[in-house]
Amino acid sequence: MATVRHVTNLALRKLGVLGGGRDARPTDAADALAGLQGLYQSWIASGAFGRLYDRMPQGTQYVARGNERIMRRAGDDIEIILPEFVSDGIVPDYGRELRSGYYGTIISITTQGNDTVVDIQPSQPIGCVQSPRDGSVVIITDEATGNVLTSIYDGTLKKWEQIESLQQDDEAPRSTADASGLASCLAVEIADQFGAELSEVTVSQAARFRMQMTHRYGMRRESVMGVYI
């Protein structure tokens, strides 16, 4: 796993605007980070991680599944659980296959007076559905504030990573798959911003990374229901 700093620095080196062994200037690092966040958002919007399904939960707790776009209605107090990893114990509940000994990120969104408060508590022991596929996405939209919280699941680390709050020393989502390929994609994304030329190697590495991400040959097959017309 590579940090955001490592990925952004590597992208800037691929563009020839940063020397080896050096860290980017704060302004360049901030621009590259913004470009990386935009890259994740564009991949989600394009369906690179799969289609998203809209959900508007009822009640005070909701267990998210992979690739859901969840609306928190104004005034509702709700806990949204993002499942991470499970034990082998199966506990039947609500007609779904739930498992014991489970850890997940709990996102609580509450209204306190005139303010909306978001609290994120990672790795809490809970009973939950089985872990999502690598690269799954959950988007939480707050109807009251319009704020959006986007999380991408890393199947290797078994954890969710938030996009909007990324900092330089945070782990970069999707970097476990291919940190150099991710940096190449970022280099392609921000090349015009820095007035830099792209090498054939960088373009090739970026194409390879996008193919790996969308084809998902390294992941298990999912059974799908056939549709016949």
d(CA 11, CA 4): 11
d(CA 26, CA 9): 11
Domain membership of residue 27 (yes or no) is yes
β-pairing verdict for 61-63 and 78-85:
parallel
What pLDDT score was predicted for residue 221? Answer: 59
What pLDDT score was predicted for residue 215? Answer: 77
SS3 content of the chain, % helix, strand, coil (to 5): 30, 30, 40
Read off the pLDDT of each residue in 158-176 and give the average, rounded to a whole number.
92
Read off the pLDDT of each residue in 86-100 and give the average, rounded to a whole number.
43
Q: What is the pTM of this model?
A: 0.78
Last residue of a domain, one of 120, 143, 162: 162
Read off the pLDDT of each residue in 75-89 and give the average, rounded to a whole number.
72
One domain, residues 62 and 118: yes
One domain, residues 105 and 11: no
pLDDT band at 91 (very low <50, low <70, confident <90, very high): very low
Domain membership of residue 223 (yes or no) is no
One domain, residues 207 and 141: no
One domain, residues 95 and 143: yes
Domain membership of residue 148 (yes or no) is yes
Which is more confident, 187 or 73?
187
What pLDDT score was predicted for residue 130? Answer: 58
pLDDT band at 36 (very low <50, low <70, confident <90, very high): very high
pLDDT tens profile 113-163? 888 888 888 665 555 455 678 889 999 999 988 999 999 998 888 788 999
pLDDT over 90 at 189, yes or no: yes
One domain, residues 16 and 98: no
pLDDT over 80 at 224, yes or no: no
Angle at 3 between CA 14 and CA 65, to 5 degrees: 115
Averaged pLDDT score across all residues of the chain? 83
Read off the pLDDT of each residue in 25-51 and give the average, rounded to a whole number.
94
One domain, residues 37 and 60: no
pLDDT over 80 at 92, yes or no: no
Residue among 58, 214, 219, 47 at smallest CA distance from 132? 219
One domain, residues 85 and 149: yes
Domain membership of residue 103 (yes or no) is yes
pLDDT tens profile 55-78? 999 888 888 878 999 999 888 899
Report the number of distinct structural domains present in the chain.
Answer: 2
**Residues forming a β-bridge with 55:** 70
pLDDT over 50 at 89, yes or no: no
One domain, residues 37 and 57: no
pLDDT tens profile 197-220? 999 999 999 999 999 888 776 655
Domain membership of residue 224 (yes or no) is no
What pLDDT score was predicted for residue 98? Answer: 44
One domain, residues 118 and 205: no
Which is more confident, 107 or 226?
107
Domain ranges, residue 203: 4-49+167-215
Domain membership of residue 193 (yes or no) is yes
What pLDDT score was predicted for residue 54? Answer: 94
